[in-house]
């Protein structure tokens, strides 16, 4: 797998996980149950905000893909931004 393929695959993974947590009920309604359990707490609000959640999801992918802290910061922002662009392209209701 080339570096470009790795970045593209992780971009789609970040978008998919972020979309699953922020906009779907999940398999067997697991995500909606977690969202209700979190309520109006920090994590509950985080689960409702695609922008915020994409940073944290992107950070997880960046830790997996990068070795240096500078790369982690750049990749975190890259994955977050790319997943937001994918969400805007695929969701007509996204503002």
Residue 22: closest CA among 2, 42, 51: 51
Question: How large is the average pLDDT for residues 2-28?
Answer: 94
* Terminal C-alpha separation, the chain: 34
Report the predicted TM-score, pTM, of the whole model to 2 decimal places. 0.89
**Which residues fall within 8 angstroms of residue 22, CB to CB, at 6 or more apart?**
47, 48, 49, 50, 53
Give tens-digit pLDDT for 24-34. 999 999 999 99
How far apart CA 79 and CA 30 sit, in angstroms, is 25
Domain ranges in the chain are 3-89
The pLDDT value recorded for residue 89 is 94
């Amino acid at each position: 797998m080339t570096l470009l393929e790795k970045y593209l695959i992780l971009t789609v993974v970040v978008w998919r996980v972020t979309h699953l947590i922020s906009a779907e009920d999940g398999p067997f309604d697991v995500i909606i149950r977690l969202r209700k359990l979190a309520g109006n707490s920090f994590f509950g609000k985080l689960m409702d905000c695609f922008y915020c959640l994409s940073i944290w999801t992107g950070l997880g992918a960046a830790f997996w893909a990068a070795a240096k802290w500078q790369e982690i910061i750049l990749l975190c922002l890259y994955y977050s931004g790319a997943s937001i662009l994918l969400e805007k392209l695929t969701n007509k209701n996204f503002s």
